[in-house]
Amino acid sequence: MSGAAGTTMVQALNTALRDALREDPDVHLLGEDIGALGGVFRVTDGLAAEFGTQRCLDTPLAEAGILGTAVGMAMYGLRPVVEMQFDAFAYPAFEQLASHVAKMRNRTAGRLPLPVTIRIPYGGGIGGVEHHSDSSEAYYAHTPGLHVVTPATVADGYGLLRAAIASDNPVVFLEPKRLYWSSERFPPTAVAPIGQAVVRRPGTDATLLTYGPSLPVCLRAAEAASAEGLELAVVDLRSLVPFDDETVCAAVRATGRAVVVHESAGFAGMGAEIAARVTERCFHHLAAPVLRVTGLDIPYPPPLLEHHYLPGVDRILDAVARLQWEQ
């Protein structure tokens, strides 16, 4: 599915769901408003018409019930794909996620794996009112048993979602709302591997480590730095769990300087984990401490103030400037 202007992230996700539904009769979608409406972001547009309302099921407005029902469906051998309407609306399902989805394989010694994909639109930058802009990835990444992935490109929107649905692990699939309408020229067709970070821009002077909605910001920062003579490498993590230490560490060792960039709050966030891992593994290659550029440690602000919260090019370049170049 693509138009004259190329393929958007929404279209890529829609195609991934359609292809999965076509190829595997066990794949079932369930969520709020995903049928006739096609989802509030239209990611499931046309799927109920093509595959029927049972395989693209409009559920009652009850997130724990949605995920709990998906658990039971997976126990019977189906491969449910759940849509949570917004990041903050997924919190009622957290008990099902933490106590059952994440643990069922482990507590049954591998006898009852749950191949459930949980799609969650996340992050801000879209002018959303309260409870529509949370970045909740750290909660999920901190829960053993879950894979947590997030695409930053249209191609990965397709490729990672296909991989998530095909995976026998439960996968939290975080969709950056801000990138839903980003587009690429060619419609994506390839499955992307879970657990592999990718270098989006090579660089020799410092390495930006980022994911999801912050990738385009980092690429713009790298472009700006290049104009001033600094070549920044940009790594797109893609998969928060499993974490690709190898690619990340190789990219950091190559430059000796690193900045982690994400829009969720910094305290006890992914950046803390990444900075610690990089320091533990690359200490002797580092010319400066690993820095973080993140959202502020406040509840997500009202939309008219969100640009102060979100990491921007200036804050990233400020951090790069603080990487002890004087030595």
> What are the residue numbers of the active site?
132
Binding segment for another protein among 41-49, 64-72, 202-210, 282-290 (CB under 8 A)? 64-72
Q: Does 96 bind another protein (CB under 8 A)?
A: yes
Q: Least distance in Å: CB of 98 to another protein? A: 9
Q: Does 69 bind another protein (CB under 8 A)?
A: yes
Q: How many C-beta neighbours within 10 Å does residue 201 have? A: 18
Binding segment for another protein among 130-138, 141-149, 216-224, 257-265 (CB under 8 A)? 141-149
Q: Does 113 bind another protein (CB under 8 A)?
A: yes
Q: Fill in the amino acid letter for 287.
A: A
Q: Does 110 bind another protein (CB under 8 A)?
A: yes
Q: Does 131 bind another protein (CB under 8 A)?
A: no
Q: Least distance in Å: CB of 292 to another protein? A: 20
Q: Applying CB under 8 A, what is the total number of residues that bind another protein?
A: 49
Q: Provide the token pair at 241.
A: 């769990």
Q: Does 279 bind another protein (CB under 8 A)?
A: no
CA-nearest of 269, 231, 265, 267 to 251 is 231
Which element (helix H / strand E) includes 25? none
Query: Which residue lies nearer to another protein by CB, 76 or 283?
Result: 76
Q: Which of residues 8-37 bind another protein (CB under 8 A)?
A: 25, 28
Q: Per residue in 40-50, is it b (16+ CB within 10 Å) or e — as a string?
A: bbbbbbebbee
**Cβ–Cβ under 8 Å, residues 151 and 160:** yes
Q: Which of residues 224-243 bind another protein (CB under 8 A)?
A: 241-243
Selected from 49, 53, 54, 322, the binder of another protein by CB under 8 A is 54
Q: Does 53 bind another protein (CB under 8 A)?
A: no
Q: How many C-beta neighbours within 10 Å does residue 202 have? A: 13
Task: Provide the terminal-to-terminal Cα distance of the chain, rounded to the nearest Å.
Answer: 52
CA dist., res. 299 & res. 302, Å (int):
9
> Phi then psi for 59, rounded to 5 degrees?
-105, 165
Q: Residue 118's beta-bridge partner residues?
A: 82, 172
CA dist., res. 232 & res. 208, Å (int):
7
Query: Which residue lies nearer to another protein by CB, 40 or 98?
Result: 98
Which residues of this protein are in contact with another protein, per CB under 8 A?
25, 28, 54, 59-60, 62, 64-65, 67-78, 80, 92, 95-96, 99-100, 103-113, 144-145, 147, 167-169, 195, 241-243, 245-246
